[in-house]
Amino acid sequence: MFDNLSDKLDKALHVLKGHGQITEVNVAETLKEVRRALVDADVNYKIAKDFTSIVKEKALGQDVLKALKPGELMVKLVKDELTKLMGGDVAGINLSGDPSIILMSGLQGSGKTTFSGKLANFLKTKKTKKPLLVACDVYRPAAIDQLHVVGEQIGVEVYSDRDTKDPVKISQDGIAYAKENGFNVVIIDTAGRLAVDEVMMTEISTIHKAIQPQETLFVVDSMTGQDAVNTAKSFNDVLNFDGVILTKLDGDTRGGAAISIKSVVNKPIKFIGTGEKMEAIDVFYPERMADRILGMGDVVSLVERAQEQYDEEEARKLQKKIAKNQFGFDDFLNQIQQVKKMGNMKDLVGMIPGAGKMMKDIDIDDDAFKHIEAIIHSMTLEERTQPSVINASRKKRIGKGSGTSVTQVNQLLKQFDQMSKMMKMMQGGGGKKMMQMMKG
């Protein structure tokens, strides 16, 4: 996420590192680079210029903080301003109303349908709500099918009516259906078009007026940079929406949209999409995003994601197995699946302070576990529970079955063995000992 921008900002702020004091000259030099980095990231020129003027004013007026090193001071000022620019505080969604109605808007391909599913899943699991999805795209039957597929995947009911060509009626019928059947949130997925046009705008604003949603969300593909900002402006002029959803932040995004959208439409970014899976949704925290842009990582989000996947019952079972020396490859596979559920690997690494920068050239993707999974899948039940039975001929068979080599099978066996030993050590109070050793 935002690798290029992070890199350039890092270099710009480095300029100050060698100086003992903040002066007008070195501040100007640094901020020129910061501005260039922002513009390159597709931030609107005026926003970038205003941004650097504010930081400059603050930097030169910082008497109190003279004790700090200039580099650190500048990073702090840039971080605070970035946070402010992206909205300051986190913005929640309005779930009042019974049912609460959430209207999705945005261009075709922006990720509306995917996000509707992610939001339904998020509300269902996090906020114990009972959502209903409503399919209002009357032009593309495939869009209705897609929402049904998503609904099935997450176990959320989808209301659709293929015989009706009036999206207002479908949305109203959907809301009535929700009331009759005890759903307390209705998420309405609407039709988008490839570009802003009058027919789409009239349609979405007619639906908006007719159903008066508690929350109108505008979904936009962050990869489109300044176009995203312009589209947001057009939709906001017509809908006066409540919040922005930035999708595809896992892609090769320059960051411009995330940084400029709030100041152009004066509406907060509420959620971000970070992948195609239903779990790849995050509440947007401006400060955490600023941390990530500046390469400071986002440990809080990382821990939160881990906690979401943490199942106490499972953890207890696992502990017992480890204690009894019964930790096998099936458990290992299970653990891998848990990690994968936390999200895209590159994204996770980016949350570790400093790691994003260090590992940006290393190709990590969701396939990182592909070989391991294939190897384990090629093992028999006996081999999975008792890896010690895996002899040379079995290794050959497993390698063949999984499309890997004996060396790769050996590697995994070795890793597994080391991991089991380590787990055993942590269990037997060794964890504490290890921590003490590390503290020196």
97 annotated as belonging to a binding site for a ligand:
no
Under the binding rule (CB under 6 A), the answer on residue 248 touching ligand GDP is yes
Cα of first residue to Cα of last residue in the chain, in angstroms, is: 36
For residues 256 and 43, the answer to whether their CB atoms sit within 8 Å is yes
* Token duo for residue 360: 């940006």
Nearer of residues 8 and 288 to ligand GDP, judged by Cβ: 288
**Where is 218: in which H helix or E strand?**
strand 215-221
Options 157-165, 230-238, 271-279, 372-380: segment touching ligand GDP (CB under 6 A)? 271-279
Please select the residue that binds ligand GDP; options are 274, 378, 402, 408, rule is CB under 6 A: 274
Q: Collapsing DSSP states into helix, strand and coil, what is residue 221?
A: strand
Please select the residue that binds ligand GDP; options are 275, 295, 328, 343, rule is CB under 6 A: 275
274 annotated as belonging to a binding site for a ligand:
no
Please select the residue that binds ligand GDP; options are 71, 109, 353, 430, rule is CB under 6 A: 109
For residues 253 and 265, the answer to whether their CB atoms sit within 8 Å is no
Name the minimum Å distance from CB 180 to ligand GDP.
27
- The angle formed by the CA atoms of residues 373, 122 and 223, to the nearest 5 degrees, is 75
Options 49-57, 163-171, 200-208, 273-281: segment touching ligand GDP (CB under 6 A)? 273-281
The residues, ordered by sequence, that sit 6+ positions from 438 with a Cβ below 8 Å of its Cβ are none
Single-letter code of the amino acid located at 198: E
243 annotated as belonging to a binding site for a ligand:
no
Residue nearest to ligand GDP (CB): 273
The closest of 395, 372, 373 to 383, measured between CA atoms, is 395
Which residues within the stretch 170-199 sit at the binding site for ligand GDP (CB under 6 A)? 192
Nearer of residues 109 and 353 to ligand GDP, judged by Cβ: 109
Beta bridge partners of 188: 103, 134
Under the binding rule (CB under 6 A), the answer on residue 71 touching ligand GDP is no
For residues 121 and 236, the answer to whether their CB atoms sit within 8 Å is no
Under the binding rule (CB under 6 A), the answer on residue 350 touching ligand GDP is no
The closest of 55, 79, 362, 86 to 249, measured between CA atoms, is 86
CA distance 373 to 3: 29
CA distance 400 to 406: 8
189 annotated as belonging to a binding site for a ligand:
yes
Site string (114-133) toward ligand GDP, x via CB under 6 A: x-------------------
In angstroms, the Cα distances linking 157 to 78, 169, 188, 413 are 45, 19, 12, 44
Nearer of residues 328 and 343 to ligand GDP, judged by Cβ: 343
Nearer of residues 110 and 404 to ligand GDP, judged by Cβ: 110
Name the minimum Å distance from CB 48 to ligand GDP.
25
Nearer of residues 113 and 216 to ligand GDP, judged by Cβ: 113
Neighbours of 29 (CB within 10 A): 14
Binding site for ligand GDP (CB under 6 A): 106, 108-114, 192, 247-248, 250-251, 273-276, 280
Annotated binding-site positions: 106-113, 189-193, 247-250
Annotated binding-site positions for GTP: 106-113, 189-193, 247-250
